[in-house]
Structure 1
């Protein structure tokens, strides 16, 4: 009995020590631990982000961002604080609210985790508040280049900034983008993803008659909102009915079509502009699309 009381006293002292650090500056380890926790909480929220855990994690990260001793993260802190006080949010809103924090931690929210070379205990001691650890390395496979570009650019690139001059140039640009995204796309094989767009030359949709330049503009505009967007050529996969479409998907794989459709619903995207698609080299078109 005395031993149990003594152990409880030790725990109480440890917790008191942690709370004493709650108002002081935090370093990258503490910041990125909170960032990764918000990402994990976000990725487990299904069917709409109303979970108290998401808002609690956002509030915790807001506090850490406000107290971060490196780069000024006050904008992220304010945006996260606003979300924490709201009744509803989305993955896109949370990604936008953590742009600068993502740069510090080296990966987008919910995609990959930050790892460290040292074996510090996390909170408390030199491994948490000031010094004592090496710079983090980031594991984001298969989430690579598209995310890195999104979070290192000071100003977002618009479609007009790199619009091809003619149809031939646009087709070449589209082909180059497919090649750039191929490694990440291959990692999605036999997984369900949210499909955001399917366009080919001459298609009429949403009041637009699409040519190659319009298709490129559609992709780049989509990627401004969803930095994880990848461009696929339907002819490279067996799960698409037609082989001559440029396909835009989100680089967020799911094990079921229902989970991919839940992501679409959480983003408030309608059924015509977001639905579950199985990306596969072996599965046929039948059963590879799950409408909402």
Structure 2
């Protein structure tokens, strides 16, 4: 990824950019599939680049910049600006492109050039359902920086850093679900506090991770607020009554510290065994994979994708 990638000479570059300009005239919002298809194409171009005369990388960056700016889930303007800068430059590198696409990588579920996007079980308007709370050890790159969580499509209060709260009594509806956002947030906090001892008992063991959601995440056609995150947890617990909820900020094995994460309570000595559990339960790779729970192990090497 340190290889320097350069353009054709100026005349050929002008021709390429002119063609891109004609192709890139579309307007209006784009869905996850359109965004991630171009993201995967750019990754393929990057991996097959041979240094000088690799204009496909620059035109692909320009196309992806346009799609990121129009992504209906929002939150990708930083990536769009960075990609536009690369598209206008004379040279770039694999690491620069990975840094420029870190938000898009979160939506698509894998870093640039490492793996491909899964669309199984998702609708075209959704975002990534990777339950990692960060990339962990995808391809050995860990957290390569530059990411900003997609912002919610509806106005609400941002999620603060989690602090255990024993003073708020959640309000619930007749069906037992939290009746408002403040109550849902308090309910999530109480569940984390309730489950903490059991989660800590899984320390330095591999578990099947079933879900991770943070405030404003767009996934499977849903923009997640606190009530939606609570509903996601209870849905998983309905299928797996012993499932546990944790806050990623409490554990050093997570790249990002602002995710509500649901894990199965069954632990294993290896990631392969945890992934075998996912397969046996007929859960797809976006909704179940192996995660190491630890207070001392860093993110690198703590995730084993399927």
Please tell me the TM-score bracket, short chain as reference.
0.3 to 0.5
- TM-score, normalised to structure 2, is 0.43
- Richer in helix (by share): 1
Structure with the larger RCO, 1 or 2 (CA within 8 Å, 6+ apart):
2
Work out which of the two has the higher radius of gyration on C-alpha atoms and give 1 or 2.
1
TM-score (norm 1): 0.45
